[in-house]
Structure 1
Amino acid sequence: MGEVSELPIVGWTKITPEWMTAVLRGAGHEATVAEISGQRVGTGQVGESVRFALTYNGDAKGAPATVVGKFPSPDPESRATGVNFGNYIREVNFYRHLADSAGLTTPVCLHADVDPETSDFVLIMEDLAPAQPGNQLRGTSLAETKLVLEEAAKFHASHWNDNAMDDIPWLFETKAAPRRTEPNLIGLLWKGFRERYGARIPADCVEIGEAITRNFHHFKDGYDGPKCLTHNDFRPDNMMFGTAEGGYPVAVVDWQSVGFGCCMADVSYFLSGAMKREDRKAHEHELLTAYHRRLEELGVSGYSFDEMMKHYALYSFSLFNMAFTASMIVERTERGDEMFFQMMRGGADHVLDTRALDLLPD
Structure 2
Amino acid sequence: MSQPISSAQKLPTVPSEITPEWLSSKLGHKIKSLKHTRSIWGTGSKLFYTITYEDEDDNHPSRPTHICIKGVFDPTMLASQPWTLPLAQREADFFSHLAPDLLLADKNTPINFPQTWWAGTNNSQGISIIDDLYTSGCTFPPELASYPLSTVLEGIDQLAALHARYWGQSEATHPWISNTYDTALKFLCSPSTFNETVRDPDRPKLPTYLQDGERFNLALDLYFSTRNPKFRTLLHGDTHIGNIFFSPSMSPSPSPSPEGKIGFLDWSALHFGSCFHDVVYFVTAMMTVQDRRKYEWEILDRYLETLHQLGGPEFDRRDKQVMNEYRRSFMTGAIWLVCPFDLQSKERVGELCKRAVAAFGDHGVLELILGEHKGEDKEGSCVVL
- Whether 1:236 and 2:236 are equivalent positions in the alignment is no
- Whether 1:50 and 2:47 are equivalent positions in the alignment is yes
Structure 1 residue matching 2:293: 3-state secondary structure: helix
Matches within 5 A, 1:97-108: 97-102=97-102, 104-108=111-115
Deviation string 1:59-117 (CA, Å, 9 cap, x unpaired) is: 0421222111112142613554244662222222222222223452222322222221x
In 2, Cα distance between equivalents of 1:248 and 1:203: 35
Task: Note if contact 1:272-1:347 (Cα within 8 Å) is conserved in structure 2.
Answer: yes
Task: Note if contact 1:89-1:170 (Cα within 8 Å) is conserved in structure 2.
Answer: no
1:279–1:165 Cα change, 3 Å: farther
Task: Note if contact 1:12-1:69 (Cα within 8 Å) is conserved in structure 2.
Answer: no
Instruction: Give the TM-score normalised by the residue count of structure 2.
Output: 0.78
In 2, Cα distance between equivalents of 1:58 and 1:183: 48
> Which of 193, 201, 218 in structure 1 is aligned with 2:222?
218
Matches within 5 A, 1:245-260: 249-260=261-272
1:82–1:231 Cα change, 3 Å: farther
In 2, Cα distance between equivalents of 1:309 and 1:135: 32
Gaps of 5+ in 2: 106-110, 252-258, 372-385
Task: Note if contact 2:20-2:34 (Cα within 8 Å) is conserved in structure 1.
Answer: yes
Letter in 2 for 1:230: L
Task: Note if contact 2:35-2:50 (Cα within 8 Å) is conserved in structure 1.
Answer: yes
Could you tell me how far 1:293 is from its partner in structure 2?
A: 0.7
Structure 2 residue matching 1:22: 3-state secondary structure: helix
1:156–1:189 Cα change, 3 Å: farther
Letter in 2 for 1:331: D
Partner in structure 2 of residue 326 of structure 1: 339
Could you tell me how far 1:304 is from its partner in structure 2?
A: 3.0
Gaps of 5+ in 1: 26-30
Deviation string 1:292-345 (CA, Å, 9 cap, x unpaired) is: 1100001112433334333221111211x1113432xx737xx62222222211
In 1, Cα distance between equivalents of 2:114 and 2:187: 35
Partner in structure 2 of residue 110 of structure 1: 117
Partner in structure 2 of residue 92 of structure 1: 92
CA RMSD of aligned residues (A): 3.2
Deviation string 1:132-162 (CA, Å, 9 cap, x unpaired) is: 1234521333332122111111111111001
More helix by share: 1
> Which of 120, 124, 138 in structure 1 is aligned with 2:125?
120
1:180–1:73 Cα change, 3 Å: closer
Task: Note if contact 1:166-1:260 (Cα within 8 Å) is conserved in structure 2.
Answer: no
In 1, Cα distance between equivalents of 2:113 and 2:241: 14
- Whether 1:263 and 2:275 are equivalent positions in the alignment is yes
Matches within 5 A, 1:1-362: 8-10=10-12, 11-25=14-28, 31-42=29-40, 45-56=42-53, 57-60=55-58, 61-62=60-61, 63-74=63-74, 76-78=76-78, 80-83=80-83, 86-102=86-102, 104-116=111-123, 119-128=124-133, 129-163=136-170, 165=172, 168-172=175-179, 186-197=190-201, 200-204=203-207, 206-210=208-212, 211-224=215-228, 225-243=230-248, 249-305=261-317, 306=319, 307-319=321-333, 321-327=334-340, 331=342, 336-361=345-370
Task: Note if contact 1:110-1:124 (Cα within 8 Å) is conserved in structure 2.
Answer: yes
Instruction: Give the TM-score normalised by the residue count of structure 1.
Output: 0.82
Structure 1 residue matching 2:81: 3-state secondary structure: helix
Task: Note if contact 1:136-1:235 (Cα within 8 Å) is conserved in structure 2.
Answer: no
1:121–1:216 Cα change, 3 Å: closer
In 1, Cα distance between equivalents of 2:143 and 2:327: 21
Task: Note if contact 1:140-1:236 (Cα within 8 Å) is conserved in structure 2.
Answer: no
